[in-house]
Structure formats: C-alpha cells, structure tokens
C-alpha cells in the first residue's frame, strides 16, 4: 500500500512539474544563446528561482509567513564558499579557520550540496520553536533569526571575514544552462514534497488547522519537515549565488534578498508551484528592464527620461502592491500549469479538483 501511494505521489509530481520544467528549459536555451547581459539575467533568475522554490516549500505549503529564509541562503553561501576556496586564499582571508576547513577545497558542485546540508542542520537546530508559531509571531521570529545570523556573520571575522566579505569564490559555470540542472532539481524536490503525503497533510492544515488536527495530522511535525527541506533548497541557492557573485558579504543575503524572494512568491501566487515559477520569471524581467532604465534612462521619440535612482525597487514595490490589491492570490491564482487534457480527464473521472492546487487530482492525503 505504501509503495502504491508513493508511485501515485511521483505521478502527481511529474504532472505538476512537467510544464514548468519545460518552460524553464526553453527560457534557459533562449537566454543562453543571447547577449552576455541576457545570459547573466538568465543565470541570476534561475538562482533566484531555486531560492523561491525553497521558500515556497515551507511558506506556500504551510501558509506560515517566513521573513528569515535569506539566513539559510547566507549559511549555505558561507559554508560552501569557505570549503571551496583555495587553501592559499583562505590563509590570507581567513586565518582563524579550523585546520580541516583551511585545508579543504571542494569542487563547486560538491560545495552546493555541502552548503545545502549546512543550512538544513541549522534549520534542525531552530525548528522546534519556529513550527509552533503562526501568523505575525512566526514572521517576527523568522525575521529575528535573519538578524541574528547577519550579526554573527558580520562579527565572526576569523571564519567569515566579517563585513569585508569573501572574494575569489570558484564559479560553478557561466550562463543559464549551468544553473538549469539545479533549478530543475529544486523544482522536482518541491513538486515531490507538495504531492507527497506529508505535503498534502501540511496543505490541509494550511486550509483549516483545527480540522487537520482533529483528524490526527501532527501539524508541527509536518511543518518541521517542510522547514528543513526548504532550508536545504534555499541553502543550495545561497551557494549558487555566492559562486555567481564571486565576491559577497553579509548584506548580499539580507533585506534586499528577503524582499525580492517574498515579492516573487506573492506576485506569482504563493499557493501553487507554478505561481512560484511564474512570479520569479515576471519579477526578474521587470527588475532587469527597470535596472536598464535606471542606469541609461529611457528615450523613445519625444519621451526622454533620465536615469532614476532606485527605479527597480520602486517598480517592484508598485507591482507587488498592485497584485495584492487586484489579484490577492497572485498571477497564477493558486493553480498549477497542466495540459488541458489532464484537467478534462480528471473531470470525466469525477475526481475533485482542488481550486488552490489546480492539480486535477484526488485530494486524499
């Protein structure tokens, strides 16, 4: 019975993730064949997508607000960067490192996996009090974690180099095609969790926590599993971002990144996997266009607008405000991107379609 349910979960995950994965592959191929600026945009966008999928795995499935996931990206980035730097560079930048860390020199790929594991371990340390909270209390608690992590990183000079930041981080590959496998992997993990029994129980508690508890769902346990899985995905994104930047510091993983990730999830729609993907694509496109206007101005016929400072931040804030007012459920409206045939087949079989999930599948946990 357990194997049959596992097979059903995998089938559901494939249905949910197939078309978003295809969209990502097409975009990566198109952008990789473009100019260097388009390649840069594609690589950065896919890295952000991995982080958003990490945030979605917890926040989207549980409905619990988190302002602290950038801390997992920071921990993953520092763990992966420190262990992948050349020993000679570490001797100059980080003289206070333990001997085993000073001698280690991981490959960029292995550094991503180790950074993800480091973020997951940190999540395990703080998971018990966090999963007992919800609403504003959870938001404040996770934001407190973000502040604490930044303070520690900024002052632990011997291990993190403090506010000076780390430089010379090995690059795992240039262009969107180098990041695409990580994005597809994160998409697969998020889909498998969402469509698995743990994810469906957690989504049930998101819709009605009291009813979920009444039928025996251990809400704290389900939230805890999602929290650790999401931390690992976000930690991997942090290492990828550190490799992309090459040089980074504590501010690279603080308020700006936090606002960006939450905006992507809210604009796309935080209750569906397709919403997380769509929101990332839309926000990256908007910010890229506005950053170009911000730097070079806009000239179109009689219209001549000079450079405007912080235009990308203003535009992103207005976009999120507009979505919250006009379409509170996000652009995707909580629905998954599925072939119409699958929806029709589910309707013909009499299977209930969850308006939130949009998966056209039975809602059994």
Closest CA to 15 of 194, 177, 282, 278: 194
Tokens of 56: 């979605």
Whether 79 maps to a domain, the answer reads yes
For residues 357 and 88, what is the distance between their CA atoms, to the nearest angstrom? 51
The DSSP code sequence of 126-173 is HHHHHHT--HHHHHHHHHHHHHHHHHHHHH-HHHH-GGG-B--PPP--
Q: For the chain, how many residues are written?
A: 365
How confident is the model over 177-183, as a mean pLDDT? 96
Query: How many Å apart are CA 360 and CA 53, to the nearest integer?
Result: 21
Q: H-helix or E-strand containing 304?
A: strand 303-305
Instruction: Summarize the confidence of residues 320-348 as an average pLDDT.
Output: 78
pLDDT at residue 352, as a whole number = 36
Residue 49, domain member (yes or no):
yes
d(CA 203, CA 1): 22
What's the total number of domains in the chain?
A: 1
Q: Give the pLDDT score at 357.
A: 45
Residues spanned by the domain of 30: 2-250
Instruction: Report pTM.
Output: 0.90
The answer to whether residue 12 is domain-embedded is: yes
Per the domain annotation, does 119 fall within a domain?
yes
Name the DSSP class of 30.
Answer: H
User: What is the band of 83 on the pLDDT scale with cuts at 50, 70, 90?
Assistant: very high
**CA gap 146, 253 in Å, rounded:** 9
Determine the pLDDT at residue 304: 64
Residue with tokens 């978003």: 20
**pLDDT per position as a tens digit, 140-179:** 999 999 999 999 999 998 889 999 999 999 998 888 999 9
The Cα-based distances of 259 to 90, 251, 256 in angstroms read 32, 13, 5
pLDDT at 96 over 90: no
The string of pLDDT tens digits covering residues 207-258 is: 999 999 999 999 999 999 999 999 999 999 999 999 999 999 999 999 999 9
Instruction: Say how many Å lie between the first and final Cα of the chain, rounded.
Output: 13
Residues 6+ apart with CB under 8 A from 221: none
CA 258 to chain centre: 10
User: Residue 153 is encoded by which pair of tokens?
Assistant: 């990183």
Burial group, residue 214, by CB count within 10 angstroms (0-12, 13-18, 19+): exposed
284 domain-assigned: no
8 A C-beta contact, residue 239 and residue 81: yes
At residue 316 the predicted structure's pLDDT band, cuts being 50, 70 and 90, is confident
Closest C-alpha to 108, from 252, 247, 243: 243
The b-or-e profile of 350-359 (16+ CB within 10 A means b, else e) is eeebbebbbb
d(CA 22, CA 53): 16
> Under DSSP, is residue 359 helix (H, G, I), strand (E, B) or coil?
coil
Q: What is the spatial distance between Cα 33 and Cα 180, in angstroms, rounded to a whole number? A: 14
CATH code of the domain covering residue 29: 1.10.3470
E-strand ranges in the chain read 298-300, 303-305
With respect to residue 280, please indicate whether it lies within any of the assigned structural domains: no
pLDDT digits (tens, 9 = 90+) for 21-77: 999 999 999 999 888 999 999 999 999 999 999 999 999 999 999 999 999 999 999
CA distance linking residue 185 with residue 218, whole number of Å = 28
Residue 1 has pLDDT above 80, yes or no: no
Q: What are the tens digits of pLDDT across the range 108-135?
A: 999 999 999 999 999 999 999 999 998 8
Cβ distance 238 to 119 under 8 Å? yes
Report percent pLDDT > 70 for the chain. 88
pLDDT at residue number 78 = 96
Whether 348 is covered by a domain: the verdict is no
Quick one: pLDDT at residue 349? Answer: 46
């Amino acid at each position: 019975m357990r194997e049959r349910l596992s097979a059903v979960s995998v089938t559901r995950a494939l249905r949910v993730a197939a078309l978003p994965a295809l969209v990502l592959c097409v975009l990566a191929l198109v952008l990789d064949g473009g100019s260097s600026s388009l390649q840069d945009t594609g690589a950065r966008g896919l890295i952000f997508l991995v982080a958003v999928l990490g945030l979605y795995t917890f926040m989207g499935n549980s409905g619990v607000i988190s302002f602290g996931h950038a801390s997992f990206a920071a921990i993953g980035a520092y763990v992966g960067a420190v262990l992948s730097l050349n020993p000679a560079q570490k001797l100059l930048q980080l003289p206070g490192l333990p001997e085993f860390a000073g001698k280690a020199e991981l490959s960029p790929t292995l550094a991503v996996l180790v950074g993800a594991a480091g973020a997951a371990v940190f999540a395990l340390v703080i998971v018990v009090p966090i999963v007992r909270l919800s609403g504003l209390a959870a938001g404040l608690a996770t934001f407190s974690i973000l502040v604490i992590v930044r303070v520690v990183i900024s002052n632990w000079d011997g291990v993190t180099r403090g506010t000076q930041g780390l430089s010379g981080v090995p690059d795992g590959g240039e262009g969107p095609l180098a990041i695409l496998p990580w994005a597809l992997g994160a998409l697969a993990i998020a889909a498998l969790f969402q469509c698995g029994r743990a994810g469906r129980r957690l989504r049930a508690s998101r819709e009605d926590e009291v009813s979920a508890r009444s039928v025996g769902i251990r809400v704290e346990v389900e939230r805890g599993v999602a929290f650790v899985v999401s931390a690992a995905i976000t930690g991997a994104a942090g290492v990828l971002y550190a490799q992309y930047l090459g040089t980074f510091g504590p501010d690279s993983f603080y308020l700006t990144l936090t606002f960006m990730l939450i905006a992507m999830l809210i604009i796309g729609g935080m209750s569906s996997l397709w919403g997380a993907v769509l929101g990332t694509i839309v926000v990256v496109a908007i910010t890229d266009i506005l950053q170009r206007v911000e730097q070079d101005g806009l000239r179109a016929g009689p219209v001549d607008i000079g450079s405007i400072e912080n235009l990308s931040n203003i535009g992103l804030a207005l976009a999120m405000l507009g979505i919250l007012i006009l379409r509170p459920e996000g652009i995707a409206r909580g629905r998954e991107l599925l072939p119409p045939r699958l929806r029709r087949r589910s309707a013909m079989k009499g299977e209930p379609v969850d308006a939130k999930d949009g998966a056209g599948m039975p809602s059994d946990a």
